[in-house]
Chain A
Amino acid sequence: MSESEEIIEPETLPLDGWHRARGARMVPFAGYEMPIQYEGILAEHEWTRSHAGLFDVSHMGQLEVSGEDATEALEALLPIDLSTLKPGRQRYSLLLDENGGVLDDLMVTNAGERFYLVVNGATKWDDIAHLREHLPDDITLNHLADDALLALQGPEAAEVLGQLGLEPANSGPRVADMAFMDAVEFGWNGVPLRVSRSGYTGEDGFEISVPADQAEALAEALCAQPEVKPIGLGARDSLRLEAGLPLYGHDLSPGTSPVEAGLTFGINKRRRSEGGFPGAERIQRELAEGTKRHWVGLALEGRMAAREGADVYAGDDKVGTVTSGGFSPTLGHPIAMAYVDAAHAGEGTALELEVRGKRLPARVVPTPFVPHRYHRKGAAK
């Protein structure tokens, strides 16, 4: 048996003791000791798909951008159209370098007088340095390092959060009336919470920013309800893979453009035509002419999985590389995401993945592998 682990000096998160008391196995990830699983990845995965799972994502970076010209300042760095992002709404966006490579993917919330950004844990210090360097001096960037972040995900999440008795802070909607990507500030027993109806599992659910010293009380109140169990990072990864969502550092990097990654929805219409963001020239060209490779979903036969780094073949020709892969608990077979040459990226294309010297048959399939169940505005329940 062999297992390799990164050797780093991890920090502890606000809920560290709470996770350990609940039997979590802790592993180093993104510079922190993180819970990878409690009772087991399969059980936690299935619990989240059928009930409500509580994830600690406090390693992620929570940033606040404010100042009179914050809209223009952010638009100079992100391909987002903030004129169409209303107060109380959240949107997916990308931090790009001068070549249009992806420095990070992130969530942006318009909170009226300021913007909140949630960035990846592994990249947050680089993101903060990048933003400080490129934002004008009259724009304030705060790292909200004293806030924890919890994600409550699954079909019973809304009911559970609704039972907590949250009071909307600024005559905003109640929990039950929030739609996907709504962001509302609440009070909970006097504790301020920033709640968005979003997440990264493909399920309906919420991300909840809470002062770090109140995180344990909130986690305890949520897990006191029979619908909720704490879920580790292992199931978070298998859930996001089934949902066909990219993971930064694996599926996205400075070497990938958002167009080949299929993330053009993160580049809003006005910005596509006007440009004015880092790498705009390349991205506009790729939008017009297409890209040489595409990020695609692959379904494998059998049970042997292909993981990150596996080569993709069409006959004798290497045509791509797997960026994420594993066993899908919901589907009962392995799935993978890969960058594949455009000529072999069409739905239904038969390919082979090389794993430990063997060729595994695979087929290009549409993503998400498991349908999203977001609570979209106006959608039938």
Chain B
Amino acid sequence: MTRYFTQDHEWIEVDGDTATVGITDYAQGQLGDIVFVEVPDAGASVTKGGDAAVVESVKAASDVYSPVTGTVTEGNPALADDPALVNTAPEGDGWFFKLTIADKGELDGLMDEAAYKAFCDTL
């Protein structure tokens, strides 16, 4: 399995044609306490760079974009009861949704972990 990152602070872990998407530890740190997450339903179509989920802190709502185009297979049900999972385990149990990837070529422009870390250091 390979993990990629976007400049909008999403991560995507790819396993064959399927993948899991969440926001990075850097992103949750910037947002602060997460009190609500809206994840897409199974069957929803998402496009690369398009709105896919919403994450709300006490102060503000932020859009989460899909790193690739595809069809959602599952939104993380655990976030409904415990949105703070995004703070405590952003790159683990706090994942947002799983999807079937339409075009694996879209992964080419994404960063690997080292490149993402270097990117965050410039912010």
Interface positions of A (Cβ within 8 A of B): 1-3, 36-37, 40-43, 45, 234, 237-238, 303-305, 307, 326-327, 329, 334, 356
From B23, B36, B38, contact of A1 by CB (8 A): B23
Docked complex: B50-90 residues within 8 A CB-CB of A: 54-65, 83
Q: Which of chain A's residues have a CB closer than 8 A to the CB of B32?
A: 37, 40-41, 234
- Please report whether the interface of chain A is mostly helix, strand, loop or mixed according to DSSP: mixed
Q: How far is the CB of A30 from chain B (nearest CB, A)?
A: 16
In the complex, what distance in Å separates the CA atom of A260 from the CA atom of B8? Answer: 42
Fill in one digit per residue for B1-38: 1 if any A CB lies within 8 Å of its CB, else 0: 00000001110000000000001000100111101101
Q: Which of chain A's residues have a CB closer than 8 A to the CB of B33?
A: 40-43
Q: How far is the CB of B110 from chain A (nearest CB, A)?
A: 14
Which A-B residue pairs are the 8 nearest by beta carbons? A303-B36, A327-B35, A42-B33, A41-B58, A1-B9, A1-B8, A40-B33, A2-B63
In the complex, what distance in Å separates the CA atom of A326 from the CA atom of B36? Answer: 11
Q: Which of chain B's residues have a CB closer than 8 A to the CB of A42?
A: 33, 35, 58
Q: Kindly list 8 other residue pairs between chains A and B, CB separation below 8 angstroms, not including A3-B60, A40-B32.
A: A1-B63, A2-B62, A41-B33, A234-B32, A304-B36, A307-B61, A327-B58, A329-B58
Most buried by A among B54, B60, B64: B60
- Once A41-B32, A327-B35 are accepted as A-B contacts, the answer to whether A3 and B56 lie under 8 Å apart by CB is no
Instruction: Find the A residue at minimum CB distance from B24.
Output: A1
Interface positions of B (Cβ within 8 A of A): 8-10, 23, 27, 30-33, 35-36, 38, 54-65, 83
Q: Is the CB of B61 within 8 A of A1?
A: no
Most buried by A among B30, B61, B62: B61
- Once A234-B32, A303-B35, A305-B36 are accepted as A-B contacts, the answer to whether A41 and B57 lie under 8 Å apart by CB is yes
In the complex, what distance in Å separates the CA atom of A304 from the CA atom of B63? Answer: 13
Q: Is the CB of B58 within 8 A of A326?
A: yes
Instruction: Find the B residue at minimum CB distance from A305.
Output: B56
Instruction: Find the A residue at minimum CB distance from B33.
Output: A42
A–B Cβ pairs within 8 angstroms, 28 of them: A1-B10, A1-B27, A1-B55, A1-B62, A1-B64, A2-B63, A3-B31, A3-B62, A37-B32, A41-B33, A41-B57, A42-B35, A43-B33, A234-B32, A237-B59, A238-B59, A303-B35, A303-B83, A304-B36, A304-B38, A305-B35, A305-B56, A307-B60, A326-B59, A327-B35, A327-B36, A327-B56, A327-B58
Q: Is the CB of A234 within 8 A of B59?
A: yes
Instruction: Find the A residue at minimum CB distance from B57.
Output: A41
Q: Which of chain A's residues have a CB closer than 8 A to the CB of B56?
A: 303-305, 327
Q: Which of chain B's residues have a CB closer than 8 A to the CB of A304?
A: 36, 38, 56
Q: Is the CB of A2 within 8 A of B8?
A: yes
- Once A1-B63, A41-B33 are accepted as A-B contacts, the answer to whether A234 and B58 lie under 8 Å apart by CB is yes
Most buried by A among B27, B56, B65: B56
Q: How far is the CB of B57 from chain A (nearest CB, A)?
A: 7
Q: How far is the CB of B26 from chain A (nearest CB, A)?
A: 10
In the complex, what distance in Å separates the CA atom of A179 from the CA atom of B36? Answer: 39
Q: How far is the CB of B120 from chain A (nearest CB, A)?
A: 12
Q: How far is the CB of B4 from chain A (nearest CB, A)?
A: 15
Q: Which of chain A's residues have a CB closer than 8 A to the CB of B61?
A: 305, 307, 356
- Once A42-B33, A303-B35 are accepted as A-B contacts, the answer to whether A356 and B57 lie under 8 Å apart by CB is no
Q: Which of chain A's residues have a CB closer than 8 A to the CB of B64?
A: 1
Q: How far is the CB of B72 from chain A (nearest CB, A)?
A: 17
Q: Which of chain B's residues have a CB closer than 8 A to the CB of A303?
A: 35-36, 56, 83
In the complex, what distance in Å separates the CA atom of A242 from the CA atom of B56? Answer: 18
In the complex, what distance in Å separates the CA atom of A37 from the CA atom of B59? Answer: 11
Q: How far is the CB of B16 from chain A (nearest CB, A)?
A: 26
Q: Which of chain A's residues have a CB closer than 8 A to the CB of B36?
A: 303-305, 327, 334
Q: How far is the CB of A16 from chain B (nearest CB, A)?
A: 20
Instruction: Find the A residue at minimum CB distance from B30.
Output: A3
Q: How far is the CB of A144 from chain B (nearest CB, A)?
A: 30
Q: Which of chain B's residues have a CB closer than 8 A to the CB of A40?
A: 32-33
Instruction: Find the A residue at minimum CB distance from B83.
Output: A303
In the complex, what distance in Å separates the CA atom of A279 from the CA atom of B23? Answer: 51
Most buried by B among A36, A37, A43: A37
Instruction: Find the A residue at minimum CB distance from B80.
Output: A303
Q: How far is the CB of B122 from chain A (nearest CB, A)?
A: 16
Q: Which of chain B's residues have a CB closer than 8 A to the CB of A356?
A: 38, 54, 61
